């Protein structure tokens, strides 16, 4: 036996992903009921617990921990349980030998268990597979199952079946699909039913983005008006008001970013669901029937405009965010320039003050030299007069006159030297 390298922890899960949610072979006639319930997430495993309770009632093997797809035959009906990112889908199957939308597969399920399912019903539909009648009036027989509603349908699978619906919720709270089998195998019939029910589920899930876009459109109009007012004021005002405008822009940008964060997932999910709807419709390989819209035409005329509204709202939000960002940068630049100008004015004022202080200091130094000279020369004069009084043959006036310039020079040099020393200490780096 080969000894392979150690497996990646996700190897088997990723390999089995392509086999997830396989279709089941369906006999003709068969009745199918499908319901999808939204979840608040993250999963609390309530759905699996509920399915385990059902299997316990019928003595079947329950789904194990971590299972996301489970199918079981419970005798009275068959069940497929699927866990998706945002919803949980339950599909029920029974043989169908009577009217297609009477005694449905959902009615075979215990009502108390059905009412206990966790989540909120977001989509649901019945599907019935019948043998295709040989008469040319088959569509007349089909119409009676959809009241007076406009039908949407087509010949599918290269003419081996006909699928018809009205995409409406009927009195029992679910939609309806009728498939007339004209040569499909059991596996092919299972794939067709699966695609039709996925179209119904993904169509509704895609439309969850529409209310978000509609609510966002109202907010976008108010935000665009606010931004227009701010930019108008930016061209008219200068000074302290710029700071107030910057605060308004910052608040506006915060509101836009919060809305973008809240709606980003919903818009992204809507786009993904819409792409799935388009793919499932293309897999039907439709051929037009007289006086009837195809599935593709119906979605392009009804679903596509709704998704275009979502795309437009998302684009407007992105564009508005970029505009607010540019306006914020522009206003921040203006505020910074104003601050720099104010700083330059403060520095110029400080330079003038320093210059005045220097002049004052020079004046004080001059007065200091004069005062020192005056007091020192006065002391020398007193000393000379004292010597004369003591009988010394000196002229006190001459001594005072000679001492004055000498003392003045010494005082001036001393003050100058002291100023240089203080300046050197101020210029020296701090230790």
Smallest Cα–Cα separation from 296: which of 307, 273, 280, 315? 280
Assess whether the previous peptide bond of 12 is cis (omega < 30° from 0).
no
**Distance linking the first and last C-alpha atoms of the chain:** 76
Measure Cα distances from 188 to 45, 284, 317, 431 in Å: 33, 11, 44, 88
pLDDT single digits (tens) 154-205: 999 988 999 999 999 999 999 999 999 998 999 999 999 999 999 999 999 9
H helix runs in 18-171, sequence order: 46-58, 111-115, 138-143
pLDDT tens digits, 90-108: 999 999 888 899 999 999 9
pTM here is 0.76
In angstroms, what CA-CA distances link 310 with 263, 265, 268, 278, 423?
10, 12, 10, 17, 72
| Neighbour-count burial for 113-146, b at 16+ CB within 10 Å, e otherwise | eeeebbbeebbbbbbbbbebeeeeebbeebeebb
9-13, 186-190, 368-372: which has the minimum mean pLDDT?
368-372
Helix, strand, coil distribution of the chain in percent, nearest 5: 60, 15, 25
Euclidean distance between CA atoms 168 and 376, whole angstroms: 116
* Model confidence pLDDT, tens digit, residues 287-316: 998 889 999 999 989 899 999 999 999 999
Higher-scoring residue by pLDDT: 377, 220: 220
Instruction: List 408's β-bridge partners, or say none.
Output: none
Tell me the mean pLDDT in the region 134-153: 81
Average pLDDT for 211-228: 93
The CA-atom distances, in angstroms, between 361 and each of 309, 354, 365, 413 are: 76, 10, 6, 16
Alpha-carbon span 340 to 337, nearest angstrom: 5
Listed residue (171, 172, 151, 173) closest to 162, CA to CA: 151
Choice among 33-47, 257-271, 416-430 with the minimum mean pLDDT: 416-430
Listed by start position, the domains of the chain span: 21-196, 209-344, 349-422
Structure tokens at 327: 């306006």
DSSP code per residue over 117-157? -SSEEEEEEEEEEEEPPSSTTHHHHHHGGGTTPPPEEEEET
Q: 384-425 pLDDT, tens per residue?
A: 777 777 777 777 777 778 878 887 788 778 777 777 776 676
Contact 142, 272 (CB under 8 A): no
From 247, 242, 246, 235, select the one nearest 341 (Cα to Cα).
242
Strands 30-38 and 152-156, sheet pairing: unpaired
């Amino acid at each position: 036996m080969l000894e392979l390298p150690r497996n990646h922890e996700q190897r088997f899960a990723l390999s089995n992903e392509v086999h997830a949610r396989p279709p089941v072979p369906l006999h003709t006639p068969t009745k199918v009921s499908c319901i999808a319930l939204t979840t608040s997430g993250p999963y609390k495993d309530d759905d699996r617990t509920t399915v385990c309770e059902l299997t316990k009632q019928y003595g079947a093997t329950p789904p194990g921990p971590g299972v996301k797809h489970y199918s079981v035959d419970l005798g009275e009906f068959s069940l497929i349980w699927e866990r998706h990112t945002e919803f949980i889908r339950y599909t029920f199957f029974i043989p169908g030998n009577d009217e297609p939308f009477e005694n449905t597969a959902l009615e075979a399920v215990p009502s108390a268990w059905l009412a206990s399912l966790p989540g909120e019903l977001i989509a649901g539909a019945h599907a019935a597979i019948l043998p295709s009648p040989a008469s040319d009036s088959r569509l007349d027989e089909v119409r009676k199952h959809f009241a007076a509603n406009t039908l949407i349908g087509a010949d599918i699978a290269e003419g081996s079946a006909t699928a018809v619906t009205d995409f409406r919720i009927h009195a029992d709270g679910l939609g309806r699909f009728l498939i007339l089998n004209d040569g499909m195998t059991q596996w092919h019939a299972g794939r067709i039913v699966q695609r039709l029910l996925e179209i119904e589920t993904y169509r509704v899930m895609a439309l969850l983005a529409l209310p978000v876009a509609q609510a966002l459109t109202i907010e976008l109009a108010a935000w665009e008006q606010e931004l227009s007012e701010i930019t108008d004021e930016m061209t008219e005002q200068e000074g302290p008001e710029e700071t107030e405008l910057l605060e308004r822009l910052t608040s506006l940008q915060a509101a836009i970013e919060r809305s973008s964060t809240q709606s980003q997932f919903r818009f992204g999910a809507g786009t993904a669901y819409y792409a799935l709807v388009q793919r499932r419709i293309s897999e039907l390989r439709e051929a037009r029937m007289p006086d009837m819209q195809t599935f593709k035409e119906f979605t392009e005329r009804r679903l596509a405009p709704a998704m275009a509204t979502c795309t437009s709202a998302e684009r407007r939000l992105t564009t508005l965010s970029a505009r607010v960002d540019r306006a914020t940068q522009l206003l921040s630049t203006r505020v910074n320039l104003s601050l720099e100008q104010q700083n330059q004015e403060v520095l110029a004022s400080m330079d003038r003050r320093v210059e005045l202080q220097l002049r004052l200091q020079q004046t004080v130094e001059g007065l200091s030299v004069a005062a020192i000279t005056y007091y020192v020369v006065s002391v020398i004069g007193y000393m000379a007069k004292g010597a004369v009084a003591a009988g010394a043959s000196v002229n006190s006036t001459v001594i005072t006159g000679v001492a004055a310039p000498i003392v003045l020079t010494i005082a001036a040099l001393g003050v100058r030297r002291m100023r240089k020393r203080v300046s050197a200490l101020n210029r020296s780096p701090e230790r």
